[in-house]
Amino acid sequence: MKLIIKNGTIINPAMHQHETGDVVIKNGRILSVGPAAEDDPAAVVYDAKGCFVLPGLIDMHVHLREPGQEAKEDIHTGTQAAASGGVTRVATMANTAPVIDNAAVLRDVQERAERQGVVKVSIIGSVSKNLEGKQLSEMGDMAAAGAVAFSDDGHYVESANFMRRAMEYAHMFGKMVIDHAEDTTMCAGGYMNEGKVSYRLGVTGRPAAGEDLAVARDIILAKLTGCHMHVAHLSSKGAVELVRRAKADGLPVTTEVTAQHLFFTDECLRGYDTAFKMAPPIRTEEDRQALIEGVLDGTIDAIITDHAPHTNEEKDVPFCCAPNGIAGLETSLSAVLTELYHKGKITIDRIAELMSVNPARLLGVEGGVLKEGAPADVTVVDPEKEWTVHGKDLYTKALFTPFEGITLKGRAVLTVVDGEIVMKEGQVLK
């Protein structure tokens, strides 16, 4: 099939390109980017006038829940949600049942993704067996089988010596370790950010200092081992400054932030709404502003979702009983456009870097660029399209979203994976 995306503003930071033009695609590859395409009656044409044409978005931190937790989400519904949000590739975390801690489980997930995935799926293996932080996972075998990184996300690796050995081992295979940085001796048993709101509500908090301590420890271990250490879902002002200093010192440290941490603060939890319950927790306005500054000055490398859906029955309980995690694949881009782009804080080019170019580089996968011969993964964004979020209308199985009832401005209107249109005008086609 030949596809021509016409008249859009091409946003292609990897090629220093920001211009009006056409993208021509055939047989899953890009034929040309920029010049006006010749008319071809046999081609499918999409008029992208008024829209941005970006390299396909890549979300390097999601939980597809399969195998073993398909009531929450599965590969098909999760990748449908990704396509709906303009995401052409996701990297799924290892905390499934069974845990992705060996090559056999990893290959099983790969095969499921090939059969059921609407978008591309990369797989992150665990650091430790069964996420227990006691015995190393089969990193070598998983690296050979295609694991793009290693993480015990959802669990902090408590033993510094174990984390050191894990980082040394991962470094041997040229893979980064993605760090869930919350010191459990400070944060275990907490349900939201520790601060004025938690005190007023009488809810045990998770102090930002617990995140700062964990980040500081693992920056030291990155310096010791030389391993690329990537801090997952940064949320505190102190942690932003620690990463900033580590980068200034030339250490192999990178980080990410979720759209929800850029959008909300702990003031949203005054009603004990479990849709806002996540780990790490959304924090204060001061923390939120520090995260935005980190995005703007390059301290933060990627914007991700930490898409972590749960069933309605799990979330529709008293606040302290609900699990941490929200669905985010369908709202992430729109939230960033609404909060940052439309408020003049960030350019669309920087958004493309944070949500496509940098994730491709960090994961070591194809993507993040529109150029001749590259895989035709493309996201078309209408920056002016307004829509009101309702959980019941989303493709994810999760009904709970912190964006419920909020009108966002800007949305993906076309998602193309290997030259195939998988989402058009909000409708997923697979």
Q: How far is CA 241 from CA 178, 246, 297, 299, 336, in A?
A: 18, 9, 12, 8, 22
Would residue 306 show up in a list of annotated catalytic residues for this protein? yes
What is the pLDDT tens value at each position of the chain, 430 positions in all?
Answer: 899 999 999 999 999 999 999 999 999 999 999 988 888 888 999 999 999 999 999 999 999 999 999 999 999 999 999 999 999 999 999 999 999 999 999 999 999 999 999 999 999 999 999 999 999 999 999 999 999 999 999 999 999 999 999 999 999 999 999 999 999 999 999 999 999 999 999 999 999 999 999 999 999 999 999 999 999 999 999 999 999 999 999 999 999 999 999 999 999 999 999 999 999 999 999 999 999 999 999 999 999 999 999 999 999 999 999 999 999 999 999 999 999 999 999 999 999 999 999 999 999 999 999 999 999 999 999 999 999 999 999 999 999 999 999 999 999 999 999 999 999 999 999 9
User: What's the rounded Cα separation, in Å, for the pair 63 and 6?
Assistant: 34
DSSP 80-115: HHHHHTTEEEEEE-S-SSS-S-SHHHHHHHHHHHHH
Chain segment 292-332, per-residue pLDDT in tens? 999 999 999 999 999 999 999 999 999 999 999 999 999 99
Question: What pLDDT does residue 314 have?
Answer: 96
> Given 218, 306, 377, 382, which residue is catalytic?
306
Between CA 190 and CA 199 the distance in angstroms is: 12
Position 120 scores a pLDDT of: 98
The strand pairing partners of 34, in sequence order, are 22
Report the pLDDT value the prediction gives residue 1, as an integer from 0 to 100. 83
Distance from C-alpha of 354 to C-alpha of 303, rounded to nearest angstrom = 6
Q: CA 132 → CA 10, 153, 168, 176, 429, distances in Å?
A: 46, 11, 18, 19, 40
Q: At 119, list the tokens.
A: 């978008």
Are the CB atoms for 395 and 81 separated by under 8 Å?
yes
Note the pLDDT of residue 291.
98
C-alpha to C-alpha distance for 91 and 44, rounded to whole angstroms: 30
Distances in Å between the alpha carbon of 106 and those of 111, 112, 139, 177, 191? 9, 10, 11, 17, 32
Separation between Cα atoms, residue 139 and residue 143, nearest integer Å: 6
CB 92 within 8 A of CB 109: yes
- Residue 302: beta bridge partners? 256
Half-sphere exposure at residue 416, Cβ-oriented, CA atoms within 13 angstroms: 33
Rounded CA gap, 227 and 135, in Å? Answer: 19
Q: Is the dihedral of CA 312, 315, 318, 323 positive or negative?
A: positive
Answering whether pTM is above 0.95, one says yes
d(CA 265, CA 47) in angstroms, rounded, equals: 38
Q: Say how far apart CA 27 and CA 265 lie, in whole Å.
A: 45
Bond preceding residue 280 cis, omega within 30 of 0: yes
